[in-house]
Amino acid sequence: MTNPHGSKTLNARFVADAGRRAALEAEAQRLPSLVVGSGAASNAVMLGSGYFNPLSGFMNLAEATSVAEKMALPSGVAWPVPVVNLVPRDKVTPEIRKAKRIALRDPNVAGNPVLAVMDVAAIEDVSPEQLSFLIERTFRTTDPKHPGVADFTAAGNVLISGPIEVLNFSYFPAEFPDTFRTAGQIREEITKRGWKKVVAFQTRNPMHRAHEELCKMAMEATGADGLVIHMVLGRLKPGDIPAGVRDASIRKMAELYFKPGSVMIAGYGFDMMYAGPREAVLHSIIRQNAGCSYLIVGRDHAGVGTYYGPFDAQSIFDELPPGALEIEIFKADHTAWSKKVGRVVMMRDHPDHKPEDYINLSGTKVRELLAAGQPLPPEFARPEVAAILMKHYQEEAKK
């Protein structure tokens, strides 16, 4: 099992001691409070879960700038994206500006309960030029049509930094009780199963036949004992399939088409950034903190639209200094069913193939077929998985 990133032990910011947590909850009712944005709330959940080890809280402007510029914290520890609590200037009241501690409230739960208590280390106004620098370096674009750029831009222009103590994991345990897991819980399960080498597969989508076979290829190539299918449970862009539907389809696939006991299905509470290469590095750190040995990084990993080259999310790892990460990357090509050889293959292994030699449907075509109640080719999707997706799209079509 890999060590946590940047430390020997996991620095999860969730307050596990019930007595301490109750005292903090009582204190929070007396503190100035701030309803944070969804991105900051998901960052708090990730800090609480141990996935953002070794961070202890939200970055200040110097730290965020260092990360954006060098892909490293001022200490030299590799880190690819700013983890910040940006808020609109009009929400930073005089009371908050004078406070040494504040309560961070959850924007995604009714009543905005307290999510974390924060020691305020600094409150800094961020200029348009500074914000643009953070965005351009993180996303490689400042195009407001990019969903991650849009969210980061809308978050605000005041940065409140400092360590936090997390009191709960927002809505994730209640909505996904069988799936939401912290980094520590995954580590415990890996140990319980006796796995030594573990492959992680990141997904924000249902898994089609090509994804299934890619995971099996990676396990065979690395000699892994097990596979962690680790899905994003937080906010996605419009049009992405809801987490509950993805969860059900992935569980059905694992149940029927993988060796019993070889797959762990888990999820984490993060809002996708769609930051392509930089987010691929973040995904690797998340999985290293969960104890995984390898992360599959495929074509256009964590990308959106045409903002990134198909393999930018792989080549970025070559920019990191040796030893920056303990986890290893399994670099995958696009996979699809080959009509010539009668199985799923990586396209780079078959240079003799033409596009028409593959069964490879666009996302638009898949949605059209499912909404119309038409089956997907069995070479593209397992029928049991397709049935779950078809039900979802047909219900959506009726709305």
Please list the active-site residues: 204-205
C-alpha span between 199 and 311 (Å, rounded): 20
**290 backbone dihedrals φ, ψ, rounded to 5°:** -85, 0
Q: What one-character DSSP code corresponds to residue 374?
A: P
C-alpha span between 54 and 72 (Å, rounded): 12
Question: How many residues are listed for the chain in this entry?
Answer: 399
Which helix or strand (DSSP H or E) is residue 35 part of? strand 33-35
Instruction: Label residue 260 exposed, middle or buried (CB < 10 Å: 0-12, 13-18, 19+).
Output: exposed
Distances (CA, A) of 261 to 192, 208, 258, 265, 293: 12, 20, 8, 11, 18
Q: What is the maximum alpha-carbon separation in the chain?
A: 69
Q: What one-character DSSP code corresponds to residue 72?
A: B
Signed CA dihedral, 207, 4, 167, 17: sign only: positive
Beta bridge partners of residue 102, listed in sequence order = 118
